[in-house]
Amino acid sequence: MSSWISLPAHFSSGMILQQQAGIHLSGRTDPNLDLSLELTCAPFENHAISPLDPNYGVVFAATVTSDRQGKFAIDLPPFKASFDPYVLRLTDGQRHFQLNDILVGEIYLLVGDDVLQTRMASPGVNHASDLSRMPFLRFFDMAQDPQIAHWHAADHTAQIGQCSAIGLSFGRDLMIELKIPIGLVQAIQTGHRLHDWLPARKKGLFERLLQPLASFNLRGIIWSGSEHDLADPDRCRPDLMKLAQSLRALFHPFGDLPPAFLMLQYRTFYAGQKFFYQQMLCNEALAYAAHQLEAPTALIPVSGTNTSNHLQTIASRLRTVGLGLVYQRKAPRSAPECESIELVGGKMILSFSNAGEGLRLTGDDTRVRGFTVCGSDHIFREASARVLYGVRVMVWHDDVPNPVGVTYGFYDMNQRANLISKDQLPVVPFRSDQADAVYCCPQEWLHCDEADGWQIYDGRVDLQREKANKSEGEASLKLTYQTGSDSSFALGPVIDQPASFPPLDLHHMNRLLIDLFNPDRQEKTVQLSLMAIAAPGARAAASAVHKVVPALRWQTIEFDLDQLGQDLDLAQIIKLKLVFADRTGRGMIYLDNIRYGYR
C-alpha cells in the first residue's frame, strides 16, 4: 500500500466488486488534498474492440478533496459483471496510486465457524477439482493482518490453502453456472460462540472482522454457527436475530432487499448433553430466524453428509439453494420444510414447501425414518410414514388413533432421518408445536433392518441381514446359532453407548413385542432379560419363558414389562437381552419388528 494514501485492506488489486451495485470508496490521505480518480476498463485477453465502444477506456472519473483529518470518499456507479479487467488510479497531480486487475461479479461473505472453517489445506480435503483455470474465482481473508492481506485467485494453489473448502467449492460451482467472476470474503474464526459475533462486544469479532466491510456491497452472506453454541440453545434465537439485523444494517441493500442470508444448520453430535434433543433447539432457532428476517433467507441442512465428500455435498446444497433464492433459477429457495398438517382418518398428512420436483428417500431406503407422533397424552412414539406421490407424507401410529403432534428428525443424532427432495436437499427437522411433551428418540434397532448395533452375549451367533424373509420394514435379522453349555444363546441391541443417550426409558410402555420365524421347526423358547441402574450398581430381571411354535410362519411373542417393572426401574434400562433356548444346540431363527405397547 502506498505511504501517502490508505484504503481498506479488502479494496486492493485483484479484488472483485459487486455487480449492479454502487461502490462506496473511502480512504485517508493528507489533509485538504485534491484527488483525481480515474477508472479504466480494458478488454478481456486484449480482444479487439471498437475505439468508440463506451464500455472501454475511461469509464468513470471524479475529483474529491480530503477533509482536515485526511478522510475522503467517492461513490462509483454500478457496473455489469464482466471478465474485463479494470484499473483504478488516484493522483494528487504529483503522486500516483494504482489498483490493477479489478473484476466485477458476485460477492459472498462467509461468516462463522464449524463446517466453514475447514480449509483447503486441511487433511482429507479433496483437491481433485480443477482450479487451475479459474483465475476469476478469488477470495479475501478478513482474519489476516491488513498489512499483508491480499485477494487471491483460485488458480494460485500456494495461496488458497487458507480458503474455506466449502466456500471455494460453492464459488466454483456458482461461477460455472453464472459464467461471471465470483469473490469470497471470509470472516471465519474457530472456537467462538455466536454471542462473540455481536456488535455489543467491544473489540470483538464484529468490530474486527465485519465492521471494516461497512458499506461494502455483496450479494449474500453464508453463516455457520459454532459447536460451542449447542451447549446453550436458549441464547441461539435472540443472538441470531441480533446478528442478522446487525449484518443487514452493515451492508448496502439491493433495491429494497438486503443481501441474501444462507444459514447452514448446526451439525449435531454427542457432547454429553443432558437430553437427546438439546442441540436440535439451536437448529429450531435457525428455522425461526429464517422466517422472521426481512431478507431473502434460506436454511441448508448439513445432516447426512458423513462421507468422504461431505464438504462438496454441503457446497452443492448451497449452490442449489443460492440459484433458487438469489437468482430465481428453477431451483428451491431453501431446504424443504413442513408447512401444513391435515388430519385424515387418524393419520396426519404433511405438506412441504420447497419440495421442488418431489420428495424421496435417501439411497436405497424403502422405509421412511425419523417421524414420531403423539396423542393427547403428549407422549411421542416412533411412527410409520409413507411418501404420497412425492408431494406429501402420511404419518401414523396404530396405537394413536387421534394424533395431536408430530416431529421429524427432532433428536441430536438424526443422521438416519432419510427424507430428501429430488434436488438432494434434506427435509428440515421440526416439531409441530412446543407444548410440554415426552419426546421420543427413534431406535433403529427395533426394526431389525441392520445387523450393526447388536451384541452377542452367550453362544455363537452368525447375525445377517435378510431382505427376502421379513415381517416389516426393509429386512429381518437371520440368526444362525450354536448354543452355549446351557443350551441357550443371547443377544441384544447396544443401548449403553453415549450416542444412544442411555439409559433407555421404558416406563411409559407396558409391553414389548417381537416377531419370530422358526424355519427349522425345532422347539425353542425365548425370554426377555433387562438390566437397570439401581444404587449402588445395577439390577436385572427376566420375563416369563415363552414357547416359539415350530411352524413356518411369522409369530408374535409378547413380553409383560409391568411384571419386570416390579423388580427394577423401567426408566433406567442399560441392557436388554433376548435369551433363546434350543435343546438341539444349533439352528436358525429370524427376528423382526420389535415394538412397544403403551399404557
Q: What pLDDT, on a 0 to 100 scale, did the predictor assign at position 376?
A: 96
What's the CATH code, domain 444-598?
A: 2.60.120.260
Identify which has the larger pLDDT, 67 or 124. Answer: 67
Q: For 423-434, how does the pLDDT look when each residue is reduced to its tens digit (9 = 90+)?
A: 999 999 999 999
Segment 545-573 shows an average pLDDT of 97
Which one, of 161, 163, 152, 172, lies nearest residue 110 by Cα? 163
CB 480 within 8 A of CB 582: no
In this prediction the pTM is: 0.91
Which position has the grid cell 500456494?
A: 158
Segment 83-103 shows an average pLDDT of 97
Q: For 100-127, how does the pLDDT look when each residue is reduced to its tens digit (9 = 90+)?
A: 999 999 999 999 988 898 888 776 676 5
CB 579 within 8 A of CB 488: yes
Sequence-distant (6+) residues with CB within 8 A of 281 are 233, 234, 236
Q: What pLDDT, on a 0 to 100 scale, did the predictor assign at position 292?
A: 92
Q: In whole angstroms, give the CA distance from residue 30 to residue 36.
A: 14
Q: For 410-469, how does the pLDDT look when each residue is reduced to its tens digit (9 = 90+)?
A: 999 898 999 999 999 999 999 999 999 999 988 999 999 999 999 999 999 999 999 999
Q: How confident is the model at residue 270 (pLDDT cuts 50, 70, 90)?
A: confident
- pLDDT score of 534 more than 60: yes
Which one, of 309, 81, 310, lies nearest residue 175 by Cα? 81
Q: In whole angstroms, give the CA distance from residue 244 to residue 479.
A: 55
Percent residues over pLDDT 90 in the chain: 77
Q: What pLDDT, on a 0 to 100 scale, did the predictor assign at position 274?
A: 82
Q: What pLDDT, on a 0 to 100 scale, did the predictor assign at position 128?
A: 43
Which one, of 494, 512, 516, lies nearest residue 574 by Cα? 494
Segment 373-388 shows an average pLDDT of 97
CB atoms under 10 Å from CB of 128, counted, come to 6
Q: How confident is the model at residue 132 (pLDDT cuts 50, 70, 90)?
A: low
Q: In whole angstroms, give the CA distance from residue 589 to residue 466.
A: 11
Peptide bond preceding 536: is omega within 30 degrees of 0, i.e. cis?
yes
Please state the domain extents for the chain: 16-103, 106-325, 337-431, 444-598
Q: In whole angstroms, give the CA distance from residue 101 to residue 85.
A: 5
Question: What rounded mean pLDDT belongs to the chain?
Answer: 92
**Cell representation of residue 406:** 408430530
CATH T-level assignment (fold) for domain 106-325 = Rossmann fold (3.40.50)
Which position has the grid cell 436475530?
A: 241
Q: What pLDDT, on a 0 to 100 scale, did the predictor assign at position 56?
A: 92
Q: For 289-329, how does the pLDDT look when each residue is reduced to its tens digit (9 = 90+)?
A: 999 988 899 999 998 765 567 888 999 999 999 999 999 99
- pLDDT score of 594 more than 80: yes
CB 355 within 8 A of CB 343: no
Q: What pLDDT, on a 0 to 100 scale, did the predictor assign at position 536?
A: 84
- pLDDT score of 246 more than 50: yes
Q: Which CATH architecture group holds 16-103?
A: Sandwich (2.60)
Q: What pLDDT, on a 0 to 100 scale, did the predictor assign at position 503?
A: 93
Identify which has the larger pLDDT, 17 or 127. Answer: 17
List, in sequence order, every residue forming a beta bridge with 591; answer none if it has no partner: 477, 516
The two most distant CA atoms of the chain are separated, in Å, by: 104
- pLDDT score of 1 more than 60: no
β-strands 546-548, 524-534 pairing: antiparallel
- 16-103 and 106-325: same fold? no
Which one, of 581, 448, 424, lies nearest residue 514 by Cα? 448
CB 370 within 8 A of CB 414: yes
Q: In whole angstroms, give the CA distance from residue 119 to residue 315.
A: 13
Q: What pLDDT, on a 0 to 100 scale, did the predictor assign at position 409?
A: 96
Q: In whole angstroms, give the CA distance from residue 392 to residue 355.
A: 9
Segment 75-91 shows an average pLDDT of 96
Helix and strand element counts for the chain (H, E): 6, 34
Q: In whole angstroms, give the CA distance from residue 187 to residue 192.
A: 12
Segment 367-395 shows an average pLDDT of 97
- pLDDT score of 62 more than 90: yes
Q: What pLDDT, on a 0 to 100 scale, did the predictor assign at position 306?
A: 59
Helical (H) or strand (E) element with 219: none
Q: For 213-228, how does the pLDDT look when each residue is reduced to its tens digit (9 = 90+)?
A: 987 899 999 999 998 9
